[in-house]
Amino acid sequence: MSGRAPDAAAGPSAVPAAPPALRRAIVDTSAFTANAAHVAAVVAPAAVMAVVKADGYGHGATEVARAALAGGATWLGVADVDEALALRSEGIDAPVLAWLHGDDPDFTTAVAHDVTLGISTRTQLERAADAGSPAHPARVHLKVDTGLGRNGIQRSDWAAVFEAAREAEASGRLVVEGLFSHLSNAADDHDLAQLAAFDEAGARAAAAGLRPTIRHLASTAGALRLPETRLDLVRLGIGLYGLSPYGGVGSAELGLTPAMRVEARLIAVKRVAAGVGVSYGYTYRAASDTTLGLVPLGYADGIPRHVSNTGSVWVNGAIHPIVGRVAMDQFVVDLGESVAAVGDRVVLFGDPAEGYPSADDWAEAASTINYEIVTRLGRRVKRVHG
């Protein structure tokens, strides 16, 4: 048979290499390990809970959990039971606490999978006991409201709930393993007042016959700022991701490394004349002849519309402003006289030590906090873990 032979190197099933991703978040898992290890050393002898709720603050819960455990975290924290069960389905068997539930939850599956339950009401306590048995008791941490005003057992209910918890323990269906609360991080004096209220709750729990062995109150902010709030365990949230919980204090000052870099590719580059309007409503007009670049990310991907005309990105080693309104799928960058071409890499935010805008910069531009910047990224932004 005549004809050209197939390329042996390519093979019959060879496919073209995929083009560069239009939009992606590069996640450095080694940063989670390093950040967990750093904070664990700072807060010792308190233990560290790695908080991986909301899909690990948008970074990927499973990957964050494994890396944080490798760095010395001994607990995992999530908001709800579904998040905890997702970790279990990935083979993660470390202790995990889930603390946000509906008014009349069914904890049967959670207890069967050894998910520890944060309990904020008497009804939740009763449902946890219902799900436990002397052969496999439910393990719970009682959450008390010490002044944040969110979930947690109110002071007026402490006595009744503590007594009900003691009775459930006596039946063998439930073990009160922990007692916890959450600081407001409003100011040191407010947090210390909450610590005093927490100590009161602990004394009243003891008087009721409870002996929780794990007390936790502080998240990253309190743990790094107020050593007296560390107690037995600290909940490491935003610091695990290498971001600062404090305004005006950067990650590097706290010994933390940002784990995420969000980037895209320019999909259009055009030269325009002075006076040309950009994007919806013409909220920006070019002050002089300039070059515009189009970035395929928008508010559908979690890019805040509030960074319209306020945010900046990195392109080819320089910082350039976002101009015009951020649209659903795209935004425009004023490249000025810089040389740029379709396909050039654009970094929205990453580690400022590498010259990129930071999540803090973006938070300031959007009048929000760095937590929201990373957590809100949408599903079209491909996470690449390495």
Residue type, 60: G
Burial class (CB in 10 A: 0-12, 13-18, 19+), 59: buried
Helical axes 61-70 vs 81-89, angle rounded to 10°: 70
Cβ-proximal residues to 293 (8 Å cutoff; 6+ apart), any chain: 266, 268, 269, 315, 320, 332, 333, 335, 340, 344, 346
Nearest to 334 by CA among 262, 281, 279: 279
Task: Report the distance separating Cα 29 and Cα 65, nearest Å.
Answer: 10
Q: For residue 212, give both structure tokens.
A: 């929780």
CA separation (Å) from 273 to 205, 208, 281?
72, 76, 18
Burial class (CB in 10 A: 0-12, 13-18, 19+), 379: exposed
Residue with tokens 């040309």: 276
Alpha helices in the chain (DSSP H): 29-43, 53-57, 61-70, 81-89, 108-112, 122-131, 158-171, 188-207, 220-225, 359-366, 370-375
Nearest to 102 by CA among 87, 86, 116, 81: 81
CA separation (Å) from 142 to 95, 121, 175?
16, 9, 10
Measured torsion, CA atoms of residues 317, 318, 319, 321, in degrees rounded to the nearest 10: -120
The residues assigned a catalytic role are 53, 280
